Structure 1
Amino acid sequence: MPAAYAQTAQAEEDSGDEPIIVTATLRAMDVQDIPLAVTAVAPEALERQGINDIKNLASISPSFNIQSSQTETQGTSIKIRGVGTTGNNTGLESSVGVFIDGVYQSRPGVALGDLVDLERLEILRGPQGTLFGRNTSAGALNVTTKRPNLSEVEGFANASYGNYNFMNLQAGVSVPVATDVAGVRLSGTWRKRDGYLKTPAGVESNDRDRYMLRGQLYIEPNADVSIRL
């Protein structure tokens, strides 16, 4: 009896004819050609749905769940399909692996920063140990940021304001150092919001005040060698 594989993906292009390229198998392939249950999301879809960090990903992938039992840096646990490591012991390693640009993050709290300047975000459901190693027995979250552009200067900037004095600023620029050989990219974000819960003593909670800055150097001397710092 032939094996049956489950695949799901959220279309991110206006045209339904465009293939959705993912790297769930550690190589660029069409999502329809890989034997994995994958939810692939482009940054445009994240922006349209107001998803600014991974804590809100459940709105596009109901099988994805993240909780912070103590603080965001300690005690954060991720579950996929209801399976994951529980408890706030900092010695526990998550059974849902978090990878940013292919680098494993030993604690899920590392990935709680704002999702900015992304190329793609993938949620892989089910055991992924064959390709991603240990600590992926329940699944993996694979975040890929945009690489520096080696041929031309490009940039972006946006700002938003909302209730509770919410302010969000995002900006980035990519500059080639040596055309088609090396380039640098700098991107950052700042997010601030007053707390929406207030105690009888007037102390606010659930406020937000954080920033993120990312710098990259990408060198590609030929088609077979690439260095990304």
Structure 2
Amino acid sequence: MNFTLFRRRSAAAILLASCAIAPMAVHAQNVEDETQTDEAEPQSTGAIGSLNTIVVTGTKTQNAENVQDVPVAVTAFNAETLDALKVRDVQSLTYSAPNVSLDDVGTSRGTANFSIRGLGINSSIPSIDPTVGVFVDGVYLGINGGVVFDLFDLESVEILRGPQGVLFGRNVTGGAVLINTGNPTDYFTGKVSASVDGPFLDGGRGGANYSVSGVVSGPIVEDTLLFKLGGYYNKDEGYFTNLFDNSNHGEAETKIVRGALEGRFGDLTVTGKLDYFESDGDGPSGQNRGRFDRDSFDFAIDFPGFYANEIWTGSLNAE
């Protein structure tokens, strides 16, 4: 048997086996052909299981590093992987990151109940410090309220298992979640997407859930000043019918507006980002079932409650 051919077939077999058992978020290094003399160009197609390069910034080194080269327990997702996994909100990443739970607390919509390696809290009280820190473009979100928000137009998401106090300070005993929004591009591009779910048909309960988002990016001054502008809107009409007044319960409305400017001045690149998030709606759909039929979805409450979250984040980065 030809030795070179055997080596290539073995490498391909090993690569296919590793892709079958490894999480799709993990970067797979490009396998170079033994017979080639030129360096292979990395490919990034964004399809699940493709050989795309994923880099991390959570180590806070001068340059972003390959996820397989950093001495940190990290699960990283680039933009192509996030699109392939159809990630809609932070909770969706729970299914793709081992030993990580990024769930909602349940009693207050949008409030985080995050835990990594079993370290977390279960409370919607704002004064209780989290054990998993969330950072948006390097800006720390200091409380759990409003953290479980919808995601769109992301550059990457990095989940670092803790403790991470050396690099990120307090409240990261369990770990850190780094959310990096998209950067401006040096060419004009845009994207619009929309979706509609429901309404549910079990006895006429519930309404539709629909969302729309759009992003436009490009140069203002060619090779010097770039911009990006994005917006997101989601309307959830609620799953439950409140039998007290026959209204929908569980309604929620979420808005996100995001802008970025990037200036390139020789060897210096300055990027500024501003992000506004607002979400409000009904309180939790909870009712005492101790004396009633526990198998029923009937729901009646005279005061629906409410929640309201508003978050501003801004960042300025110079390289």
Q: TM-score, normalised by structure 1?
A: 0.84
- Report 1:8-157 matches (<5 A): 10-11=25-26, 13-14=46-47, 16-26=50-60, 27-65=63-101, 66-68=103-105, 70-72=107-109, 76-149=112-185, 151-157=186-192
1:207 aligned residue: 251
Identity %: 31
SS in 1 for 2:125: coil
Match of 1:4 in 2: none
State the Cα distance separating 1:106 from its structure 2 match.
Answer: 1.1
| Alpha-carbon distance between aligned partners in 2 of 1:117 and 1:54, rounded to the nearest angstrom | 13
2:242 is aligned with 1:184 = no
Cα distance, 1:209–1:182 mapped onto 2, change above 3 Å:
same
Paired with 2:104 and 2:149, the residues of 1 have a C-alpha distance of 15
Q: Is the 8 A contact 1:198 1:204 kept in 2?
A: yes
Partner of residue 161, structure 1: 196
- Distance in structure 2 (CA, Å) of the matches to 1:31 and 1:221: 29
> Is the CA contact 2:262–2:269 (under 8 Å) kept in the aligned structure 1?
no
Deviations 1:135-155, CA, capped at 9 Å, x for gaps? 211100000111111x22111
Q: Distance in 1 between matches of 2:261 and 2:223?
A: 13
In the alignment, the residues of structure 2 paired with residue 212 and residue 48 of structure 1 have an alpha-carbon distance, to the nearest angstrom, of 22
Aligned residue-pair number: 221
1:193 matches 2:193: no
Change (3 A) 1:225 1:119: closer
Q: 1:47 to 1:196 in 2, by over 3 A?
A: farther
What TM-score does the superposition give when structure 2 sets the normalisation length?
0.62
Q: Is the contact between residue 126 and residue 144 of structure 2 (CA under 8 Å) also seen in structure 1?
A: no
Structure 2 contact 134–178 (Cα < 8 Å) conserved: yes
Query: Does the 8 A contact of 2:232 with 2:256 survive in 1?
Result: yes
Query: Greater RCO between the two (CA within 8 Å, min separation 6)?
Result: 1
Q: Quote the offset at 1:33 in angstroms.
A: 0.2
Distance in 2, matches of 1:80 and 1:205, equals: 32
Q: Post-superposition shift, 1:123?
A: 1.0
Query: Which letter does structure 2 place at the counterpart of 1:25?
Result: T
AA in 1 matched with 2:251 = D
Residue type at the aligned position of 1:194: E
The structural deviation recorded for 1:159 is 1.4
Aligned-CA RMSD value: 2.4
Partners of 1:43 and 1:205 in 2: how far apart?
Answer: 34
Larger-gyration structure (1/2)? 2
Contact 2:161-2:174 within 8 A present in 1 as well:
yes
Instruction: Tell whether the 8 Å contact from 2:209 to 2:234 is kept in structure 1 after alignment.
Output: yes
Residues 69 and 87 of structure 1 are in contact (CA less than 8 Å); yes or no, is this contact kept in structure 2? no
Q: Distance in 2 between matches of 1:186 and 1:209?
A: 21
Counterpart secondary structure, 2:118: coil
Please give the secondary structure, in 2, of the residue aligned with 1:111: coil
Task: Describe the superposition over 1:179-216 as per-residue Cα deviations: whole angstroms up to 9, x where unpaired.
Answer: 22221211011112321122332242233322211111
SS at match of 1:130: helix
Aligned-pair CA distance for 1:130: 1.4
Per the TM alignment, residue 62 of structure 1 is displaced from its structure 2 partner at its CA by 4.5
